[in-house]
Structure 1
Amino acid sequence: MFSNIRAVLFDLDGTLIDSAPDLGAAADKMRTDRGLPSLPLERYRPMAGAGARGMLGEAFSMTPDHPEFAAMREEFFLNYESQMTTRTLVFEGVAELVEKILHRNMVWGVVTNKAARFTDPLTRAIPLFVSAGAVVSGDTTPHAKPHPAPLLEAASRLNIAPDQCIYVGDDERDIVAGLAAGMSTVAATYGYLGVKTNPMEWGAHATIKSPVELLQLLSRT
C-alpha cells in the first residue's frame, strides 16, 4: 500500500500543530471586547479546522452570508496575527516523526488552506519547519483543498511524483485532495475532527491516532 514513498506531506493546523488555543483566543477577544462572556477553549477546539468561519460561528453564531461577516473576519485575522505563536504548540510526537522521515532520506512538506499571510510567519517562528522542503498555503495556487492543485504544487517543488507522496490530514477535504492528486492518504484522527464527522468514511488509505503511528506505516515503504 505504501510502496516507493519518497515524501510525506502534511496539513498544518490539527495535524502538525495545535493552533486551537490561539485561534480560539482571537475569536474570544472579539467577544470580551463587546462585553460578552468568555467561552472555554473546549467550545472552539472542534471548529479550529474551519478557520475564521468556524471561530466566528462558535463565538457569534455568525455564518459567511451575514452582512458583517467580512468585517468581523478581518478583525479576527488581526487578532490572530498578533498572537499566532502565543499558545500554539507542535503536537507531541511530530518532532520525532519528522526526524525519522529525514533519517530515512525522505523529504517532507506542508500543504495548508491557511493563507500565506499567516502560514509564512507562523512556520518561520517554529524551528520544526526549517527542514520542510515545501510549504504551500491556501492561496499559493488558484485553488485550495479539496482541489488537488496545492498538493501537486508541493510535489512539484519537491521534484517528486505525486504517487511517491503520502498526504496526512485531519479533515475530509485533505483526503479528497490527496486522492485526487494520486497520493497515498492518511487521516489523522487526533486533530480537529469537528462534531459531526467520521474519518473512517473519508476513504483514506489508513488512519492514525497519533503522529508517531505514521512511522509504522512508513516502515512498509
Structure 2
Amino acid sequence: MGRTKEIRAVLFDLDGTLVDSAPELGAAADKMRTDRGLPSLPQDLYRPMAGAGARGMLGVAFGVVPDAPEFVALRDEFFVNYENRMLLNTHAFDGVAELIHALDEKGLPWGVVTNKSMRFTDPLTQALPLFATARAVVSGDTTPFAKPHPEPLYEAARRLCVSPTDCVYVGDDERDIIAGRAAGMYTVAATYGYLGAQADAARWQADASISSPLELLQWLNEA
C-alpha cells in the first residue's frame, strides 16, 4: 500500500523484530524440563513460539495452556529462569544496528512497544547499547493494556510528541499489525522474525512487508 503522509517516527516491537531472544527463552523453559528429569528438547522446537513468551515456551516444554491449573506456577518459575539468563546471548538481528544508526542520522525519532513486562524490558534495553537513542520504551504493563490493544502505541506516540498517524509500527506478529492499524499507524510486517515462513504475513494486511531490517530504509525512502 502507498503512503500519503511523511513518516515522522518509527516504532518497533522488541523480540523477533529488533532482538533475538529465542535462545534464552527456550533455554529457560528447557531447564524446567531437565530440572524434572525430562529430556532436553531442541531449540528448533522452541524458536517458532518465542514470540508468544511464557505461553509459547511452556506450551512446547510441557504442553500446558494458560487456563491449566498448573500454568501460573510454571509461568512464575519460567520467569525466574529467564530473568537469570536473559542477557547471556540475546542480541540484535543482523542489520538492526545499521538500521537504527540510519534512523538517527535522518533525525527520525524511534522507540519500542513490546508486550514484554517492564521487569524484563528495562534491564534488557538498558544493557544493550542499541537502545541508547530510543526515545520511548513502552512495555506490556506500562499502560493498562497490551497489544493488540492500541493504547501502548498511543502512549509511545505521546512520548515521542508525534501524532499516531505520522508513525510506522514494525512487528513480526499479527497482533503487532492489528495494534498498529487500530492506532492509525502505518504498519510493516517483519518476516525475518520468529514466525517466518510459518505465518501468512500477507493476510495481516500490513502496509509493507520486509524480509530484513534494512529493507525498512528502502520503504521509508520511497516517495
Give yes or no for TM over 0.5: yes
Alpha-carbon distance between aligned partners in 2 of 1:194 and 1:120, rounded to the nearest angstrom: 27
Q: Are 1:186 and 1:207, in contact at CA under 8 Å, matched by a contact in 2?
A: yes
Percent same amino acid at aligned positions? 67
Unpaired runs of 5+ in structure 2?
A: none
What SS is found at the alignment partner of 1:135? strand
Q: Are 2:191 and 2:197, in contact at CA under 8 Å, matched by a contact in 1?
A: no
| Pairing 1:136-215 to 2, within 5 Å after superposition | 136-193=138-195, 197-215=199-217
The one-letter code sitting in structure 1 at the alignment partner of 2:192 is Y
What SS is found at the alignment partner of 1:77? helix
What SS is found at the alignment partner of 1:23? helix
Aligned-pair CA distance for 1:184: 0.3
Q: Are 1:47 and 1:194, in contact at CA under 8 Å, matched by a contact in 2?
A: no
Q: Are 2:17 and 2:170, in contact at CA under 8 Å, matched by a contact in 1?
A: yes
Alpha-carbon distance between aligned partners in 2 of 1:121 and 1:37, rounded to the nearest angstrom: 31
TM-score normalized with structure 1 length: 0.98
What SS is found at the alignment partner of 2:140? coil
1:109 is matched with 111
| Pairing 1:28-177 to 2, within 5 Å after superposition | 28-177=30-179
Aligned-pair CA distance for 1:220: 2.1
2:9 is matched with 7
Aligned-pair CA distance for 1:197: 2.8
Alpha-carbon distance between aligned partners in 2 of 1:65 and 1:160, rounded to the nearest angstrom: 39
The one-letter code sitting in structure 2 at the alignment partner of 1:34 is R
Aligned-pair CA distance for 1:163: 1.0
Alpha-carbon distance between aligned partners in 2 of 1:194 and 1:16, rounded to the nearest angstrom: 14
Closer/same/farther in 2, CA of residues 77 and 194 from structure 1, 3 Å limit: farther
Aligned-pair CA distance for 1:117: 0.6
Aligned-pair CA distance for 1:194: 7.1
Alpha-carbon distance between aligned partners in 1 of 2:8 and 2:86, rounded to the nearest angstrom: 31
Deviation per residue, 1:71-105 (Å, 9 max, x gap): 00000000000001111110000000001111111
Alpha-carbon distance between aligned partners in 1 of 2:6 and 2:164, rounded to the nearest angstrom: 11
TM-score normalized with structure 2 length: 0.97
**Aligned residues, how many?**
221
What SS is found at the alignment partner of 1:121? helix
More moved, 191-200 vs 2-11: 191-200
Alpha-carbon distance between aligned partners in 2 of 1:105 and 1:211, rounded to the nearest angstrom: 18
Closer/same/farther in 2, CA of residues 9 and 96 from structure 1, 3 Å limit: same
Instruction: Give me the CA root mean square deviation.
Output: 1.1
Q: Are 1:15 and 1:170, in contact at CA under 8 Å, matched by a contact in 2?
A: yes
Alpha-carbon distance between aligned partners in 2 of 1:5 and 1:213, rounded to the nearest angstrom: 15
Q: Are 2:20 and 2:91, in contact at CA under 8 Å, matched by a contact in 1?
A: yes
The one-letter code sitting in structure 1 at the alignment partner of 2:220 is L
